[in-house]
Structures are given as C-alpha cells and as structure tokens.
C-alpha cells in the first residue's frame, strides 16, 4: 500500500501546477472580460430580433459605401457628378432649419401638424444625408461618422416602434449583446471577403486602383518626375490585370503621389470602422445594465 501512495514531492508539484494553470485561466478570463462587454440577460428571441435590427444599417452601409459592395461605384461617383451643388444644398438646409426654428415646429401638435412636421424633418434628414455624400471627396471620413450617428438613432426608432412598453434604460442595456455580436459578424465577413480574392487585399495595386476610381488627384509637387510624359497629367505608372507597371524612368517611389488620398482606404476599411463604432456603442450600453430582467436565456 505504501508503494502505491504518491510521495510528498509529487503532490506538491501537482498542486503548484494546478495553481499556475488556475492563475493563468483567471488572467485570461480577466483580459477577455476587459475586451468583451458584459451583456444583459435576455431571451433568445429578443436577442435574435435586436441582432437583426443591428445588422440592417450595417448591411446597408457595407453594400452602398464600402468595397465589399458598390461603394466605389455609387459613393464617390455621386460626389463627383453632383459635388458642385453641395454649397447650395448646405445653404438650403441652414435656411430651412432656421425657418423651422422660428415657426416652432416642435409645437405643431395637431394631427395635420404632426404629419407636416414628420415630412419636414424627413426632408431635412434626407438633405443632410445627401450633403454628406456630396462632400465625400473632400471629407472622406464623413460617411463613417454619419454611420456612427445614424446607428443609435435607428435603434431608437426600433425602440419606438417595437419596444415602446420597455423602459428606455433596460432597452439600451439589451443592445450590448446584439451590437457586439453584429460587430463580430461584420469582422468575420470582412476577413472572409479579403481572403476570397487576392484583389480584395489592401496593397499597392488596390491602393492605386481605389485612388483612380474615387477621383483622387495625384500630387506631383514633391514628385514632378512621376508625371506621364504624354501630357495627359496622369502618373507614369499604370495598373493592368492586378499588376503595376513602371516604364523606364518611372521610379516605384512614384506611388507616393497618392499618399494623401484616403478615399480608397475609407472604402476598403469601412467594415472595420463599423466594427469599432458598434463595439464602442456596445460598451456604452453595458454601462446602463440593470440588475437583470425576467428574460435570462442569454
């Protein structure tokens, strides 16, 4: 019997090993807790419905304003064709907002007044959205900022339409999980899209292609020798069939003529920017967590 009993040294080593493993697990969980927001316990049905609501604006943005969709065709083409009207639209929006303020639009509480107020505010919103698109070439980060503002407003509309009886603080706390889930789904979809085709990766070829599609003007001030000799004003290098070609006398450093062009990277990295925005919003919703609800499937 004594021969089968472990000695004190082996028992001590086992205890030390378990302590180290336990401490490592604790540190890993603690680090994960600082990155993953604490979600409010809700039912699976509520989680699924709110996740769909969070995915809707994300999918629309990815489809219209990123390279995963038609961003390079729709977004900057719209700005290039109608960008000259941005100042006129901005002045119209300012005058309209001033008139609505003078006329106390918030006091139009009759049945007809509510309808007219809704239509006026909808027109203002549509005009502001159009203005952001029109100035996208000059202010490429405007559209992702617009998403960061519209996303919580959309979720507020969802609350008004479908969760009117739910306390606002409780509703906001419910959003932490669906927002975090949507950000993860968006990141995974972006990674899959990048690895699906070599042309989707961000490199010199896609950088030049994006700059040309979004109408970026090459800066020849510091690289005057990088201008094409045919007098067209284009660069001496060109891309064809996912390959960059540098003729004789054209240095690869000429790619820096597009160093100030951020339009392409905004389109390409749009999904990642959305992830950051939703992750931040998820942590914000975490601060409004309640003591719990009757729905605790998650």
pLDDT of residue 11: 47
Token pair listed for 46: 């509520």
pLDDT of residue 40: 64
Alpha helices in the chain (DSSP H): 8-35, 44-65, 76-82, 86-102, 111-134, 142-162, 168-174, 176-196, 204-213, 263-268, 270-286
Contacts 24+ apart (CB under 8 A), 113-122: 120/96
- CA dist 26 and 30 (Å) reads 6
Question: Residue 108 to residues 37, 97, 111, 126: CA-CA distances in angstroms?
Answer: 41, 15, 9, 21
pLDDT of residue 38: 65
DSSP 130-161: HHHHHTTTT-TTHHHHHHHHHHHHHHHHHHHH
Strand, helix or coil for residue 234: coil
pLDDT of residue 191: 94
CB atoms within 10 A of CB 115: 11
pLDDT of residue 1: 46
Low-confidence ranges of the chain (pLDDT < 70): 1-40, 75-76, 231-232, 288-298
Closest listed residue to residue 72, CA positions, set 198, 275, 214: 214
- CA dist 52 and 200 (Å) reads 27
pLDDT of residue 26: 47
Helices (H) and strands (E) in the chain, counts: 11, 2
Token pair listed for 178: 């669906």
Closest listed residue to residue 79, CA positions, set 144, 139, 126: 139
DSSP 40-53: PP--HHHHHHHHHH
pLDDT of residue 53: 94
pLDDT of residue 16: 47
- CA dist 25 and 22 (Å) reads 5
pLDDT of residue 54: 94
Per residue in 158-187, pLDDT tens? 998 899 888 888 898 899 889 999 999 999
pLDDT of residue 258: 85
Token pair listed for 288: 């409004």
CB contact burial 274-297 (16+ within 10 A = b; e otherwise):
bbebbbebbbebbebbeeebeeee
> pTM of the full predicted structure?
0.75
């Amino acid at each position: 019997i004594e021969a089968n009993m472990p000695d004190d040294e082996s028992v001590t080593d086992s205890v030390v090993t378990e302590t180290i493993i336990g401490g490592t697990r604790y540190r890993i969980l603690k680090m994960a807790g600082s990155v993953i927001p604490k979600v409010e316990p809700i039912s699976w049905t509520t989680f699924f419905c709110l996740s769909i609501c969070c995915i809707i604006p994300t999918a629309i943005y990815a489809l219209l304003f990123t390279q995963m969709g038609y961003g390079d065709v729709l977004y900057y083409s719209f700005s290039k064709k109608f960008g000259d009207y941005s100042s006129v639209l901005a002045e119209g929006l300012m005058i309209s907002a001033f008139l609505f303020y003078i006329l106390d639009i918030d006091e139009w509480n009759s049945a007809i007044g509510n309808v007219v107020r809704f239509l006026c505010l909808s027109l203002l919103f549509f005009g502001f959205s159009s203005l952001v698109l029109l100035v996208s070439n000059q202010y490429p980060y405007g559209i992702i900022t617009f998403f960061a503002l519209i996303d919580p407003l959309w979720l507020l509309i969802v609350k008004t339409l479908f969760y009117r009886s739910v306390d606002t603080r409780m509703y906001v706390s419910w959003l932490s999980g669906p927002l975090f889930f949507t950000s993860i789904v968006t990141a995974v979809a972006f990674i899959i899209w990048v690895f699906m085709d070599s042309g989707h990766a961000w490199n010199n070829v896609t950088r030049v292609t994006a700059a040309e599609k979004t109408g970026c003007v090459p800066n020849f001030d510091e690289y005057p020798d990088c201008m094409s000799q045919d007098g067209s004003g284009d660069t001496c290098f060109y891309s064809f069939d996912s390959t960059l070609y540098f003729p004789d006398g054209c240095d690869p450093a000429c790619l820096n003529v597009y160093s100030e062009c951020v339009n392409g990277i905004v389109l390409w990295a749009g999904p990642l920017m959305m992830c950051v925005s939703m992750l931040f919003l998820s942590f914000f919703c975490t601060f409004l967590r309640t003591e719990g609800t009757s729905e605790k499937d998650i």
